[in-house]
Structure 1
Protein backbone atom coordinates (compact mmCIF):
# COMPACT_ATOMS: atom_id res chain seq x y z
CA UNK A 1 0.00 0.00 0.00
CA UNK A 2 1.26 3.45 -0.91
CA UNK A 3 0.67 5.56 2.21
CA UNK A 4 1.71 9.21 2.41
CA UNK A 5 1.70 11.97 4.99
CA UNK A 6 0.74 15.56 4.32
CA UNK A 7 2.00 17.27 7.47
CA UNK A 8 1.32 20.77 8.70
CA UNK A 9 0.06 22.93 11.50
CA UNK A 10 -3.13 23.69 9.55
CA UNK A 11 -3.99 26.77 11.60
CA UNK A 12 -6.40 26.74 9.87
CA UNK A 13 -6.60 24.36 6.93
CA UNK A 14 -7.08 26.37 3.72
CA UNK A 15 -8.31 25.59 0.23
CA UNK A 16 -4.64 25.50 -0.79
CA UNK A 17 -3.98 22.72 1.73
CA UNK A 18 -7.10 20.95 0.56
CA UNK A 19 -5.89 21.14 -3.06
CA UNK A 20 -2.60 19.42 -2.14
CA UNK A 21 -4.39 16.78 -0.06
CA UNK A 22 -6.92 16.08 -2.83
CA UNK A 23 -4.21 15.74 -5.46
CA UNK A 24 -2.14 13.51 -3.17
CA UNK A 25 -5.20 11.31 -2.63
CA UNK A 26 -5.42 10.81 -6.40
CA UNK A 27 -1.95 9.28 -6.58
CA UNK A 28 -1.65 7.45 -3.25
CA UNK A 29 -3.64 4.58 -1.76
CA UNK A 30 -3.93 6.41 1.54
CA UNK A 31 -3.10 9.93 2.69
CA UNK A 32 -2.72 10.81 6.33
CA UNK A 33 -3.17 14.49 7.10
CA UNK A 34 -0.73 14.84 9.97
CA UNK A 35 -1.69 17.81 12.13
CA UNK A 36 1.32 18.97 14.14
CA UNK A 37 0.77 20.28 17.65
CA UNK A 38 3.28 23.11 16.98
CA UNK A 39 2.91 24.80 20.36
CA UNK A 40 5.89 27.09 19.62
CA UNK A 41 3.89 28.67 16.78
CA UNK A 42 1.15 29.65 19.26
CA UNK A 43 -1.72 28.58 17.00
CA UNK A 44 -5.08 30.32 17.03
CA UNK A 45 -6.97 27.02 17.18
CA UNK A 46 -6.24 24.23 19.64
CA UNK A 47 -4.70 21.03 18.36
CA UNK A 48 -8.04 19.25 18.74
CA UNK A 49 -9.88 22.03 16.87
CA UNK A 50 -7.38 21.93 14.00
CA UNK A 51 -7.76 18.14 13.76
CA UNK A 52 -11.56 18.43 13.72
CA UNK A 53 -11.54 21.18 11.07
CA UNK A 54 -9.20 19.11 8.89
CA UNK A 55 -11.50 16.08 9.31
CA UNK A 56 -14.49 18.14 8.22
CA UNK A 57 -12.60 19.60 5.25
CA UNK A 58 -11.46 16.17 4.01
CA UNK A 59 -14.56 14.12 4.85
CA UNK A 60 -15.41 13.73 1.15
CA UNK A 61 -12.07 11.98 0.44
CA UNK A 62 -12.47 8.28 1.22
CA UNK A 63 -8.74 7.48 1.32
CA UNK A 64 -7.78 10.38 3.60
CA UNK A 65 -7.63 10.30 7.37
CA UNK A 66 -6.59 12.99 9.81
CA UNK A 67 -4.30 12.31 12.77
CA UNK A 68 -2.60 14.63 15.24
CA UNK A 69 1.06 14.22 16.15
CA UNK A 70 3.64 15.72 18.48
CA UNK A 71 7.02 14.21 17.60
CA UNK A 72 9.58 14.21 14.83
CA UNK A 73 7.88 13.72 11.47
CA UNK A 74 10.16 10.79 10.59
CA UNK A 75 9.22 9.04 13.85
CA UNK A 76 5.52 9.64 13.21
CA UNK A 77 5.92 8.35 9.63
CA UNK A 78 7.51 5.19 11.00
CA UNK A 79 4.67 4.81 13.53
CA UNK A 80 2.01 4.90 10.79
CA UNK A 81 4.09 3.00 8.21
CA UNK A 82 4.23 5.90 5.73
CA UNK A 83 7.25 6.20 3.44
CA UNK A 84 6.28 9.33 1.52
CA UNK A 85 5.78 12.92 2.67
CA UNK A 86 3.85 15.13 0.29
CA UNK A 87 4.17 18.89 0.61
CA UNK A 88 2.77 21.78 -1.37
CA UNK A 89 5.01 24.47 -2.82
CA UNK A 90 3.74 27.98 -3.49
CA UNK A 91 6.83 30.08 -4.13
CA UNK A 92 10.61 29.98 -4.05
CA UNK A 93 10.58 30.82 -0.33
CA UNK A 94 8.61 27.61 0.31
CA UNK A 95 11.19 25.70 -1.70
CA UNK A 96 14.12 26.97 0.37
CA UNK A 97 12.47 25.97 3.65
CA UNK A 98 11.12 22.65 2.36
CA UNK A 99 14.47 21.78 0.76
CA UNK A 100 16.12 22.18 4.18
CA UNK A 101 13.41 20.13 5.93
CA UNK A 102 13.64 17.39 3.29
CA UNK A 103 17.40 17.17 3.71
CA UNK A 104 17.06 16.98 7.51
CA UNK A 105 14.33 14.32 7.30
CA UNK A 106 16.45 12.30 4.88
CA UNK A 107 19.41 12.55 7.27
CA UNK A 108 17.20 11.24 10.08
CA UNK A 109 15.62 8.48 7.98
CA UNK A 110 16.61 7.32 4.52
CA UNK A 111 13.28 5.43 4.37
CA UNK A 112 11.28 8.66 3.90
CA UNK A 113 10.90 10.23 0.46
CA UNK A 114 9.46 13.71 -0.03
CA UNK A 115 7.33 14.65 -3.03
CA UNK A 116 6.27 18.18 -3.87
CA UNK A 117 3.02 19.30 -5.47
CA UNK A 118 3.06 22.76 -7.01
CA UNK A 119 0.18 25.01 -6.06
CA UNK A 120 -2.01 26.18 -8.92
CA UNK A 121 -2.02 29.96 -9.49
CA UNK A 122 -5.22 30.53 -7.51
CA UNK A 123 -3.53 29.25 -4.32
CA UNK A 124 0.06 30.51 -4.72
CA UNK A 125 -0.58 33.50 -2.44
CA UNK A 126 -2.66 31.63 0.12
CA UNK A 127 -1.42 30.89 3.63
CA UNK A 128 -3.03 30.24 6.99
CA UNK A 129 -1.50 33.41 8.40
CA UNK A 130 -3.00 35.53 5.60
CA UNK A 131 -6.39 33.90 6.17
CA UNK A 132 -6.19 34.60 9.92
CA UNK A 133 -5.31 38.23 9.26
CA UNK A 134 -8.14 38.77 6.79
CA UNK A 135 -10.59 37.06 9.15
CA UNK A 136 -9.39 39.16 12.09
CA UNK A 137 -10.21 42.29 10.09
CA UNK A 138 -13.63 40.85 9.19
CA UNK A 139 -12.78 40.36 5.52
CA UNK A 140 -14.43 37.80 3.26
CA UNK A 141 -12.59 34.48 3.47
CA UNK A 142 -15.32 32.34 1.90
CA UNK A 143 -13.22 31.54 -1.19
CA UNK A 144 -10.06 30.85 0.82
CA UNK A 145 -11.13 28.15 3.26
CA UNK A 146 -13.69 25.35 3.55
CA UNK A 147 -17.08 26.45 4.98
CA UNK A 148 -16.50 24.89 8.42
CA UNK A 149 -13.24 26.82 8.74
CA UNK A 150 -14.87 30.09 7.68
CA UNK A 151 -17.53 29.56 10.36
CA UNK A 152 -14.92 28.75 13.03
CA UNK A 153 -12.87 31.84 12.15
CA UNK A 154 -15.97 34.02 12.20
CA UNK A 155 -16.72 32.77 15.72
CA UNK A 156 -13.11 33.38 16.84
CA UNK A 157 -13.08 36.96 15.59
CA UNK A 158 -16.61 37.98 16.45
CA UNK A 159 -16.44 41.32 18.24
Structure 2
Protein backbone atom coordinates (compact mmCIF):
# COMPACT_ATOMS: atom_id res chain seq x y z
CA UNK A 1 0.00 0.00 0.00
CA UNK A 2 1.25 3.46 -0.91
CA UNK A 3 1.29 5.83 2.04
CA UNK A 4 0.22 9.31 1.01
CA UNK A 5 0.72 12.30 3.27
CA UNK A 6 -0.66 15.81 2.91
CA UNK A 7 1.49 18.72 4.07
CA UNK A 8 -0.93 21.66 4.26
CA UNK A 9 -0.21 25.34 4.75
CA UNK A 10 -0.57 28.85 3.45
CA UNK A 11 3.05 28.99 2.28
CA UNK A 12 2.95 32.79 1.85
CA UNK A 13 5.81 32.49 1.03
CA UNK A 14 7.38 29.07 1.36
CA UNK A 15 10.37 29.21 3.73
CA UNK A 16 13.37 26.99 4.29
CA UNK A 17 11.58 25.75 7.40
CA UNK A 18 8.68 24.52 5.28
CA UNK A 19 11.11 22.93 2.83
CA UNK A 20 12.89 21.13 5.67
CA UNK A 21 9.69 19.52 6.94
CA UNK A 22 8.50 18.53 3.46
CA UNK A 23 11.89 17.18 2.35
CA UNK A 24 12.13 15.05 5.49
CA UNK A 25 8.57 13.83 4.89
CA UNK A 26 9.56 12.55 1.44
CA UNK A 27 11.88 10.06 3.14
CA UNK A 28 9.07 8.69 5.33
CA UNK A 29 6.03 8.63 3.04
CA UNK A 30 5.71 7.25 -0.49
CA UNK A 31 3.92 10.36 -1.74
CA UNK A 32 3.70 13.85 -0.24
CA UNK A 33 1.06 16.28 -1.43
CA UNK A 34 1.94 19.86 -0.56
CA UNK A 35 -1.48 21.47 -0.29
CA UNK A 36 -1.74 25.26 -0.38
CA UNK A 37 -4.72 26.52 1.58
CA UNK A 38 -6.94 29.13 0.00
CA UNK A 39 -7.77 31.12 3.14
CA UNK A 40 -10.47 33.69 2.45
CA UNK A 41 -9.88 35.27 5.89
CA UNK A 42 -6.38 36.45 4.92
CA UNK A 43 -4.99 38.71 2.24
CA UNK A 44 -1.86 36.93 1.06
CA UNK A 45 1.16 38.62 -0.49
CA UNK A 46 1.34 35.95 -3.19
CA UNK A 47 -1.83 34.76 -4.89
CA UNK A 48 -2.63 31.04 -4.98
CA UNK A 49 -1.15 30.49 -8.43
CA UNK A 50 2.11 32.18 -7.40
CA UNK A 51 2.40 30.14 -4.19
CA UNK A 52 1.76 26.89 -6.07
CA UNK A 53 4.36 27.86 -8.72
CA UNK A 54 6.98 28.72 -6.07
CA UNK A 55 6.41 25.38 -4.37
CA UNK A 56 6.52 23.46 -7.65
CA UNK A 57 9.83 25.13 -8.44
CA UNK A 58 11.10 24.19 -4.97
CA UNK A 59 10.21 20.51 -5.42
CA UNK A 60 10.80 20.00 -9.14
CA UNK A 61 13.49 17.38 -8.38
CA UNK A 62 11.28 15.35 -6.03
CA UNK A 63 9.30 12.76 -7.99
CA UNK A 64 7.19 11.82 -4.96
CA UNK A 65 5.99 15.39 -4.29
CA UNK A 66 2.83 16.82 -5.78
CA UNK A 67 1.80 20.46 -5.25
CA UNK A 68 -1.89 21.34 -5.19
CA UNK A 69 -4.27 23.86 -3.64
CA UNK A 70 -7.51 23.47 -1.76
CA UNK A 71 -10.40 25.39 -0.31
CA UNK A 72 -12.52 24.23 2.61
CA UNK A 73 -11.85 21.69 5.32
CA UNK A 74 -8.47 20.00 5.34
CA UNK A 75 -9.98 16.67 6.35
CA UNK A 76 -12.24 16.71 3.28
CA UNK A 77 -9.26 17.46 1.05
CA UNK A 78 -7.20 14.65 2.62
CA UNK A 79 -10.03 12.20 2.04
CA UNK A 80 -10.44 13.37 -1.57
CA UNK A 81 -6.77 12.50 -2.18
CA UNK A 82 -7.05 9.08 -0.50
CA UNK A 83 -4.29 10.16 1.88
CA UNK A 84 -3.76 8.53 5.24
CA UNK A 85 -1.62 11.14 6.98
CA UNK A 86 -1.43 14.87 7.63
CA UNK A 87 2.09 16.19 8.19
CA UNK A 88 2.52 19.22 10.43
CA UNK A 89 5.70 20.99 11.47
CA UNK A 90 6.16 22.25 15.02
CA UNK A 91 8.44 25.13 15.99
CA UNK A 92 7.46 25.91 19.56
CA UNK A 93 4.98 25.20 22.33
CA UNK A 94 2.57 27.78 20.88
CA UNK A 95 2.45 25.76 17.63
CA UNK A 96 1.66 22.64 19.62
CA UNK A 97 -1.38 24.18 21.31
CA UNK A 98 -2.91 25.22 17.97
CA UNK A 99 -1.99 21.95 16.26
CA UNK A 100 -3.42 19.85 19.10
CA UNK A 101 -6.76 21.60 18.72
CA UNK A 102 -6.78 21.15 14.94
CA UNK A 103 -5.70 17.53 15.17
CA UNK A 104 -8.42 16.78 17.71
CA UNK A 105 -11.20 18.10 15.49
CA UNK A 106 -9.75 16.33 12.44
CA UNK A 107 -9.63 13.09 14.43
CA UNK A 108 -13.24 13.56 15.47
CA UNK A 109 -14.26 14.00 11.82
CA UNK A 110 -12.22 11.02 10.59
CA UNK A 111 -10.35 8.76 12.98
CA UNK A 112 -8.74 6.85 10.09
CA UNK A 113 -6.52 9.82 9.21
CA UNK A 114 -3.43 10.26 11.37
CA UNK A 115 -1.51 13.45 12.02
CA UNK A 116 2.26 13.22 12.01
CA UNK A 117 4.08 15.98 13.90
CA UNK A 118 7.64 16.79 12.97
CA UNK A 119 9.87 19.11 14.95
CA UNK A 120 11.50 21.74 12.80
CA UNK A 121 15.25 21.83 12.46
CA UNK A 122 16.62 24.10 15.24
CA UNK A 123 18.03 26.54 12.69
CA UNK A 124 14.47 27.30 11.54
CA UNK A 125 12.69 27.35 14.90
CA UNK A 126 12.23 31.14 14.76
CA UNK A 127 11.25 31.24 11.09
CA UNK A 128 7.79 32.06 9.79
CA UNK A 129 6.39 33.42 6.55
CA UNK A 130 5.30 36.56 8.42
CA UNK A 131 8.84 37.26 9.63
CA UNK A 132 10.23 36.68 6.14
CA UNK A 133 7.74 39.15 4.63
CA UNK A 134 8.53 41.75 7.29
CA UNK A 135 12.28 41.47 6.69
CA UNK A 136 11.90 41.55 2.90
CA UNK A 137 9.47 44.47 2.95
CA UNK A 138 11.99 46.49 4.92
CA UNK A 139 14.81 45.67 2.49
CA UNK A 140 16.44 43.15 4.81
CA UNK A 141 18.39 40.17 3.57
CA UNK A 142 16.35 36.96 3.51
CA UNK A 143 19.21 34.81 2.26
CA UNK A 144 19.12 31.50 4.11
CA UNK A 145 15.47 32.00 5.10
CA UNK A 146 13.92 31.17 1.73
CA UNK A 147 15.15 29.57 -1.51
CA UNK A 148 16.78 31.92 -4.06
CA UNK A 149 13.75 31.89 -6.39
CA UNK A 150 11.48 32.93 -3.50
CA UNK A 151 13.91 35.68 -2.51
CA UNK A 152 13.72 37.01 -6.08
CA UNK A 153 9.89 36.83 -6.02
CA UNK A 154 9.82 38.77 -2.73
CA UNK A 155 12.05 41.49 -4.20
CA UNK A 156 9.72 41.76 -7.19
CA UNK A 157 6.62 41.96 -4.97
CA UNK A 158 8.14 44.74 -2.91
CA UNK A 159 9.58 46.53 -5.97
CA UNK A 160 13.13 46.09 -4.74
CA UNK A 161 14.53 45.01 -8.11
Provide Cα deviations, 1:72-105, integer angstroms capped at 9, x if missing partner.
1111011110010001000000000000000011
Which stretch shows the higher mean deviation, 39-48 or 86-95? 39-48
Deviation at 1:108, TM superposition (A): 1.1
Per the alignment, residue 144 of structure 1 pairs with 145
Q: Give the alignment of 1:2-151 within 5 angstroms.
A: 2-151=3-152
TM-score, normalised via structure 2 length: 0.97
| RMSD (CA atoms) | 0.8
Q: Which ranges in structure 2 are unaligned for 5 or more consecutive residues?
A: none
Count of residue pairs brought into register by the alignment: 159
Greater fraction of residues in helix: 1
Structure 1 runs, 4 residues or longer, greater than 3 Å off: none
Partners in 1 of 2:112 and 2:50 — Cα distance?
31
Q: Is the partner of 1:122 in helix, strand or coil?
A: helix
TM-score, normalised via structure 1 length: 0.98
Deviation at 1:151, TM superposition (A): 0.6
Partners in 2 of 1:130 and 1:76 — Cα distance?
28
Q: Which ranges in structure 1 are unaligned for 5 or more consecutive residues?
A: none
